[in-house]
Amino acid sequence: MVLAGLVESLLKGAIISIDLKLGRLVGKIGSYLVAILAVMAAFQELGIAQDLIRTIYIGFVLSLSLALGLSFGLGSKKIVEEMMMRWYKELNKKAKNKTE
C-alpha cells in the first residue's frame, strides 16, 4: 500500500498545478488501481481464482491499450492528415519529374 500512496502523490503532484480537483481525482484513481493490482497479484500467487484473475488482468490491459490507441489516433488525426498530404504532394512531384 506504500506504493499506492507513492503513485497517488506523484500523480496528484503532477496534475494539481493544472486543476486541483482533477489532480485529486487522478491521484485517487491511480492509488486504487495500484491497490487492486496488488490484491490481484496476491490472489494469483496464492492460487485463488487464477483463471478469473488472469482474465480480468488481460481484459484490463486490452481495454487500456484500446483506449490509448483510440485517444492518440483520434487526437492526432489532423497532424497525420497534414503529414499524409505533404507526402502525397512530394510523391506527385517526384512522379512528375520522372515522367518529364
Q: What are 28-84's pLDDT values in tens digits?
A: 999 998 998 899 889 989 998 889 988 988 998 999 899 988 888 888 888 888 888
Assess whether pLDDT exceeds 90 at residue 98: no
| Residues 61-82: b if buried by 16+ CB within 10 A, e if exposed | eeeeeeeeeeeeeeeeeeeeee
> Could you tell me the pLDDT band of residue 100, with boundaries at 50, 70 and 90?
low
| Structural domain boundaries in the chain | 1-48, 49-100
pTM: 0.59
CB-based contact 15:23 (threshold 8 Å)? yes
